[in-house]
Amino acid sequence: MPKLTKLPKALLFDLDGTLANTIPQLAIAAFASAKAVGIEPPSVETTKSFVGNGVNLLLSRVIAGKFDVTTDDIEPNVLKKARETFNEVYLKGLDKDYNLYEGVEEGLKYFKEIGIKLAVVTNKPQIFAVPLLGYMGIAKYFDFILGGEVLEVRKPNPEPLYYVLDKLNVDKDSAVMVGDSDNDIIAGNNAKMSTVFFTYGYNRKAISELNFDYKFDKFSELTDLIKKLQGNKNV
């Protein structure tokens, strides 16, 4: 997609690694899940390298001790027990062990004030995403929240993005996908949307391999871009 020449009508945001650092709380739940099924718990850094494709795949990687694994590779009862423990521990800990990135709330407030529709499109299960955004105090800024396990597919498939755009009544040419990982950027590419990549999150691919329209090191740089577009005579 070409770079933006006018104010977008919608901004679609990833959650983990884009709006907030949630690795500490994910690591606590992953640690408990590993203990529950009798395997060596992963380190925080290892947990970080395993996130991004939903909880079941995260736990499958934890159980297998490697990244390249599918849920089909894990004994169903083991995965079920790990997931039950994860759900219990993670739900109890959603109100702590996270931090919003600098500039996020200020930016969301500004986007909302100038009439841009805002949504979250995350692979984090809906049962976690909605209350977590509430604890963070930013749920009020979003017109729609789509977590994982609502649809049968997840990012980098473009369907979650199309689903949310339909809910917002905004076409893909008037929206931007904003994220920190290959899943987000590839999903945006697949949906033929403009994309913004944040360098501070949990991306696993080499940045040179990603095809994004904008690359920012801070959330405030996105806010600055939107402010510039708001004053553009082409709006």
Q: Which of 14, 180, 182, 184 is catalytic?
A: 14
Burial 84-123, CB ≥16 within 10 A → b, else e: ebbbebbeebbeeebeebebbbebbebbbeeebbbbbbbb
How distant is the alpha carbon of residue 199 from its chain centre? Answer: 14
- CA-only gyration radius of the chain, Å: 18
Concatenated DSSP letters of 26-49: HHHHHHHHHHHTTSPPPPHHHHHH
Nearest to 175 by CA among 130, 121, 136: 121
Alpha helices (H) along the chain:
23-36, 44-50, 55-64, 76-92, 104-113, 126-136, 159-168, 182-190, 219-230
Nearest to 212 by CA among 192, 235, 233, 196: 196
The rounded distance, in Å, linking the Cα atoms of 209 and 103 is 27
Tell me if residue 14 is catalytic: yes
Please check whether residue 176 is in contact with residue 9, taking contact to mean a CB–CB distance below 8 angstroms: no
CA dihedral 6, 9, 13, 19 (to 10 degrees): 70
Residues involved in catalysis: 14
